[in-house]
């Protein structure tokens, strides 16, 4: 499938969005250096994509409504970024944006390239778990080629992404979001989104990172432990706007981490996590550990105070509050 990129249709949209009233066809055609017939074809294409454009003889064109789609020109409209999301590959459906992004990364796609899809046939979480990816959600992967990140810093990219998601979401709609170690974005006590960080590395050198994020925005049917913005508020949101806000927050934090270090991200992450002082159970691959969550260390790993008062550092696993049952196992 061919990716969708910014094209004259995007520029026509931009012109229409900037005007409250009608814009004459002559004016648009002149601005874009295309014929009136060419303009008409692009408008027809936009209409097929779900845009409602009013066309009135002698007056011109006016944008009436925009579909809730993650089209590149919707994401990039007023995107205030230097490199994150400057290059976008859009799909109606992919197997997984992680797979597509990985192939593009191997094919030398630029730092900050975004792969976004309306749905995924086989969206995945950590350890090959399934990520429900029905239409209405936001599914995307970023290709990152950081020069400043060493292998041991990689978990902190997940934390940085999580903080960006909360700030980006808050900018769109201010709700009770929080974070759960290591990669969950919660709304109330249910999972609103998740982050998957995969990388290509050799020895201490990180070649590229494929950072995948899934957010239940306008999704309807989800399991009991999950929630979408729509389910929580009974309102629909512009997914393109949410994604744009997240991308802007991500670039700001990423550049700051490059200039300073990750320590500010760790502080922000800690302040957005509601686990501290809670008794939790952690499933660590082949065993279970119980204790009180007390914080994260300088590298972003979870610190657990066990009953014998020893502090154990948890490098990976799934955390559950002791009064909450873990969700049923999925393949």
Q: Which residues bind ligand BT5 (CB under 6 A)?
A: 96-98, 120, 123-126, 129-132, 139-141, 183, 191, 194-196, 212-214, 216, 222, 226, 327, 330
The answer to whether 255 and 272 have CB atoms below 8 angstroms apart is no
Give the E-state strand segments of 99-171 in sequence order: 114-120, 138-144
The least distance separating ligand BT5 from the CB of residue 294, rounded to whole angstroms, comes to 22
3-state secondary structure of 209: strand
Residue 24 or 233: the one with the smaller Cβ distance to ligand BT5 is 233
d(CA 258, CA 251): 10
Q: Minimal distance in Å, beta carbon 291 to ligand BT5?
A: 20
Virtual torsion, Cα 284, 290, 294, 296, nearest 10 deg: 0
Looking at the DSSP bridge assignments, the partners of residue 180 are 184
CA 132, CA 121: separation in Å to the nearest integer?
9
Q: Which of these, 107, 70, 66, 106, lies nearest to 88 by C-alpha position?
A: 70
Choice between 183 and 249, CB closer to ligand BT5 = 183
Which residue lies nearest ligand BT5, judged by its C-beta? 194
- Residue 275, classed as helix, strand or coil, is coil
Comparing CB distances to ligand BT5, the nearer of 114 and 304 is 114
Minimum Å gap between C-beta 187 and ligand BT5 is 10
Q: Beta 190-202 vs 184-187: how paired, if at all?
A: antiparallel
Angle between helical axes of 263-272 and 239-259 (0-180°, round to 10) = 140
User: Minimum distance between the CB of residue 313 and ligand BT5, rounded to whole angstroms?
Assistant: 19
Q: Which is nearer to ligand BT5, 13 or 213 (CB)?
A: 213
Question: How many residues can be counted in the chain?
Answer: 331
Which is closer to ligand BT5, CB of 12 or CB of 217? 217
Residue 192 C-beta: closest distance to ligand BT5, Å: 7
Q: Between 132 and 255, whose beta carbon lies closer to ligand BT5? A: 132
* Residue 129 Cβ vs ligand BT5, minimum distance, rounded to whole Å: 4
In the complex, least distance from residue 198 CB atom to ligand BT5, rounded to whole angstroms? 9
**DSSP letters along 186-203, please?**
EETTEEEEEEEEEEEEET
- Comparison of 28 and 100: residue with beta carbon closer to ligand BT5: 100
Cβ nearer to ligand BT5, comparing 43 with 314? 314
Least separation, in Å, of the C-beta of 87 and ligand BT5?
A: 17
Question: Which residue spans within the chain are E strands per DSSP?
Answer: 52-56, 60-65, 88-94, 114-120, 138-144, 177-180, 184-187, 190-202, 205-215, 279-284, 287-296, 302-305, 311-314, 318-321
Nearer to ligand BT5, 172 or 183 (CB): 183
Q: How many angstroms separate the CA atoms of 35 and 148, rounded? A: 48
For residue 3, list its beta bridge partners: none
Q: How far is the CB of 225 from ligand BT5 (least distance, A)?
A: 6
């Amino acid at each position: 499938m061919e990716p969708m990129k910014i094209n004259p249709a995007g520029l026509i949209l931009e012109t229409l969005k900037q005007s409250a009233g009608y814009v004459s066809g002559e004016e648009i055609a002149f601005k874009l250096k295309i014929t009136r017939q060419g303009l008409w074809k692009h408008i027809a294409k936009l209409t097929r994509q779900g845009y409602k454009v009013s066309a009135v003889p002698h007056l011109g064109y006016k944008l009436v409504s925009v579909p809730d789609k993650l089209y590149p020109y919707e994401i990039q409209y007023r995107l205030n970024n230097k490199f994150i999301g400057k290059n976008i590959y859009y799909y109606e459906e992919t197997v997984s944006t992680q797979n597509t992004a990985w192939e593009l990364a191997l094919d030398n796609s630029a730092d900050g390239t975004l792969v976004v899809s309306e749905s995924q046939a086989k969206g995945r979480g950590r350890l090959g778990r399934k990520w429900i990816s029905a239409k209405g959600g936001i599914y995307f992967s970023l290709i990152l080629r950081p020069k400043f990140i060493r292998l041991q810093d990689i978990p902190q990219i997940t934390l940085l992404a999580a903080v960006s998601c909360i700030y980006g979401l808050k900018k769109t709609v201010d709700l009770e979001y929080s974070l759960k170690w290591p990669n969950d974005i919660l709304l109330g006590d249910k999972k609103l989104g998740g982050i998957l960080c995969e990388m290509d590395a050799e020895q201490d050198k990180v070649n590229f990172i494929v950072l995948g994020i899934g957010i239940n925005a306008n999704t309807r049917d989800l399991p009991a432990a999950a929630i979408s913005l729509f389910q929580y508020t009974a309102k629909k949101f512009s997914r393109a706007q949410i994604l744009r806000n997240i991308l802007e927050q991500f670039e700001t934090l990423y550049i700051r981490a490059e200039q300073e270090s990750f320590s500010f991200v760790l502080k922000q992450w800690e302040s957005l996590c509601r686990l501290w002082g809670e008794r939790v159970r952690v499933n660590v691959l082949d065993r279970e550990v119980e204790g009180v969550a007390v914080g994260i260390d300088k590298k972003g790993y979870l610190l657990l105070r066990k009953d014998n008062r020893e502090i154990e550092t948890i490098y990976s696993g799934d955390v559950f509050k002791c009064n909450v049952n873990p969700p049923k196992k999925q393949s």
